[in-house]
Amino acid sequence: MHSNSAAAVGTSNAFHVEKGNYYYGSVLAVRDVFLEIPEKKITAFIGPSGCGKSTVLRCFNRLNDLIPSARVEGKITYRGVDIYDKSVDATELRRRIGMVFQKPNPFPKSIYENVAYGARINGYKGDMDVLVERALRGSALWDEVKDKLKDSGLSISGGQQQRLCIARAIAIEPEVLLMDEPCSALDPISTLRVEELMQELKKHYTIIIVTHNMQQASRVSDMTAFYNAQATDKGGKMGYLVEYAPTQTIFNNPSQVATQDYVSGRFG
Amino acid sequence: MTATGPKAFIPDEGIAPDEFEPNLVGRYKLDKVFAYASWAATIIGLVVLAFLLISTFADGLPRLGSSFLTSFPSRNAGRAGIASALAGTVWLLLITAAFAFPIGVGTGIYLQEFATDSWFAKMVEVNISNLAAVPSIIYGLLGLMVFVRILEPITGGRSVLAGGLTLALLILPVIIVATRETLKAIPDSLRIAGMALGSTRWQVVRDHVLPLALPGILTGTILGLSRAIGETAPLIVIGAQTFVPFLPTGLRSSFSALPIQIFNWTSRPQEAFHANAAAASIVLLVVLVSMNAVAIYLRNRFQQNR
Amino acid sequence: MTDSYLPPEHSSANLWQPNRVASKRSQAIVKFIFGSFAVLSIFTTLGIVATLIVETIKFFSQVSLVQFLFDNQWTPLFSEPHYGIFVLISATFLTSLIALLVAVPLGLLAAVCLSEYAPRNVRAWLKPALEILAGVPTVVFGFFALLIVTPILKTFIPGLQTFNGLSAGLILGIALLPTIASLSEDAIFAVPQDLRQGSYALGATKRETVTDVVLPAALSGIVAAIILGVARAVGETMIVTLAAGQNPTLTLDPRVPIQTMTSFIVQVAGGDVPVGTLKYDTLFAVGMTLFVITLLLNILSFWFVRKFQEKYE
In a mutational test of the C interface, the residue from A83, A117, A131, A152 whose CB has the highest number of chain C CBs within 10 Å is: A117
- Residue C74 falls inside a structural domain: no
Contacts of A among chains (3+ CB pairs under 8 A): B, C
- Residue C43 falls inside a structural domain: yes
Question: Is the pTM higher than 0.90?
Answer: no
Give residue C273's pLDDT: 75
Helix (H, G, I), strand (E, B) or coil at A238: strand
One pLDDT digit (tens) per residue for chain C, 313 residues: 455 677 766 666 677 777 788 888 888 999 999 999 999 989 999 999 999 999 999 999 999 999 999 888 898 888 888 899 999 999 999 999 999 999 999 999 999 999 999 998 999 888 888 877 788 999 999 999 999 999 999 999 988 999 999 999 999 999 999 999 999 999 999 999 999 999 999 999 999 999 999 999 999 899 989 999 999 999 999 999 999 999 898 988 999 999 999 999 999 887 777 878 888 899 999 999 999 999 999 888 888 888 777 655 4
> Domain check: are C249 and C125 in the same one?
yes
Is A80 in CB contact (< 8 Å) with chain C? no
Give residue B3's pLDDT: 38
Q: Among A95, A108, A152, whose Cβ lies nearest the Cβ of C203?
A: A95
Chain B residues in contact with chain A using a Cβ-Cβ cutoff of 8 Å: 5-11, 13-17, 19-24, 27
Is B21 in CB contact (< 8 Å) with chain C? no
Cα Rg of chain C, angstroms: 27
Nearest to A71 by CA among A89, A53, A58: A58
Residues 234-263 of A with CB under 8 A from C: none
Q: Do C110 and B42 touch (CB under 8 A)?
A: yes
- Residue C79 falls inside a structural domain: no
C276-311: pLDDT as tens digits? 888 889 999 999 999 999 999 988 888 888 877 765
> Domain check: are C185 and C243 in the same one?
yes
Beta-sheet strand order (sheet of A206-210): A81-82, A70-78, A13-24, A27-38, A237-246, A223-231, A42-46, A206-210, A176-180, A97-100
A185-236: pLDDT as tens digits? 888 888 998 899 899 889 889 999 999 888 899 999 999 999 998 888 777 8
Helix (H, G, I), strand (E, B) or coil at A43: strand
What's the ipTM? 0.89
> Domain check: are C43 and C158 in the same one?
no
- Residue C140 falls inside a structural domain: yes
Go through the domains of chain A in sequence order and give each one's CATH number. 5-263 (3.40.50.300)
Cα Rg of chain A, angstroms: 18
- Residue C192 falls inside a structural domain: yes
Is A68 in CB contact (< 8 Å) with chain C? yes
**B140 neighbors B233 (Cβ within 8 angstroms):** yes
Nearest CA in chain C to B268: C242
> Domain check: are C120 and C208 in the same one?
yes
Query: With contacts defined as CB-CB under 8 Å, which chain C residues touch B115?
Result: 35, 38
Q: Among C109, C228, C272, whose Cβ lies nearest the Cβ of B133?
A: C228
> Domain check: are C55 and C90 in the same one?
no
Residue C226 sits in a domain whose CATH number is 1.10.3720.10
Q: How many domains does chain C have?
A: 2
- Residue C293 falls inside a structural domain: yes
Instruction: Please state, in angstroms and rounded to a whole number, the distance separating the CA atoms of residues A201 and A194.
Output: 10
Nearest to B53 by CA among A195, A64, C148: C148
Domain that holds residue C148: 85-308
Question: What is the nearest CA distance from C108 to chain B, expressed in angstroms?
Answer: 8
Chain C residues in contact with chain A using a Cβ-Cβ cutoff of 8 Å: 119, 192, 194-205, 208, 212-213, 216-217, 219, 310-311, 313
> Domain check: are C254 and C160 in the same one?
yes
What is the greatest pairwise CA distance in chain A? 57
Q: Do C136 and B52 touch (CB under 8 A)?
A: yes
Is C294 in CB contact (< 8 Å) with chain B? yes
Instruction: Please state, in angstroms and rounded to a whole number, the distance separating the CA atoms of residues C254 and C245.
Output: 12
Q: Do B15 and A93 touch (CB under 8 A)?
A: no
Q: Do C203 and A122 touch (CB under 8 A)?
A: yes
- Residue C193 falls inside a structural domain: yes
- Residue C252 falls inside a structural domain: yes
Nearest CA in chain B to A174: B14
